[in-house]
A and B are shown apart, each in its own frame.
Chain A
């Protein structure tokens, strides 16, 4: 029984490490897509936390909580993905295609050109 409790605590610590990494990516993530990906991982890891809490307190009702979190998290991810796709810019202007134009001579120029054509298409 002692080994099981130790394993449970270690597993919870590891899961929380994953959650903290996801929260850091949620804060610093340069594009909106990064933030949605990290939110998706946070909801998925919360299901794992719920299962571990069920084992820690020996209350099986926490598994229902995990099922509900999984349902709502999937809907949230789908809604955010649709929102990103229909919004004007999915990224901050600071990192606009930075470094992607390996064959293009002037990277910033192509970025600004792309921005302009997008803006014109929207009008």
Chain B
């Protein structure tokens, strides 16, 4: 059982470190969000699940399921809000970006020079 807990712990820590490095190294707000939200959520989920296996108690497992479900539900909502805010405030995209899907599609466009 120790080996299972260790594998979950190491995988969680590795995903947490990957999320941090991606947040630091990617060139663009949206790409940084891509790294931090997905890898961060997976890292936290693995760490918390390893705690559930470590204690092996019904009540603690319920709490862990609650934490995982809560993070899985709220992380996409928060990422969507930040991404929308970043796009609408015209945060610069990465310079090699060649196509902006939103740029001439609807009336909520703020990027064109009118």
Contact = CB atoms under 8 A, between A and B. Distances in A.
B2 A4 contact: yes
Q: Is the interface of A mostly helix, strand, loop or mixed?
A: helix
Contact of A90 (B40, B67, B78, B85): B85
Contacts of A11: 9-10, 12-13, 47
Interface of B: 2-3, 5-6, 9-10, 12-14, 16-21, 23-24, 29, 32-33, 36-37, 40-41, 43-44, 47-48, 50-51, 54-55, 57, 60, 63-64, 66-67, 70-71, 74-75, 77-79, 81-82, 84-86, 88-93, 95, 97-98, 113-114
B10 A7 contact: yes
Contacts, number: 221
A47 B19 contact: no
Interface in A5-39: 6-8, 10-15, 17-22, 24-25, 31-34, 36-38
Contact of A33 (B3, B16, B85, B98): B85
A85 to B, nearest CB: 4
B97 to A, nearest CB: 7
Given A15-B43, A31-B91, A74 B74 contact: yes
Contacts of A91: 89-92
Nearest to A40: B78
30 contacts: A8-B9, A11-B12, A11-B13, A15-B16, A15-B43, A19-B16, A20-B20, A21-B23, A22-B36, A25-B32, A33-B82, A36-B85, A37-B23, A40-B37, A40-B79, A40-B82, A45-B40, A47-B67, A51-B47, A51-B50, A67-B66, A70-B71, A77-B78, A85-B88, A90-B86, A90-B88, A98-B95, A100-B93, A102-B95, A117-B113
B1 to A, nearest CB: 9
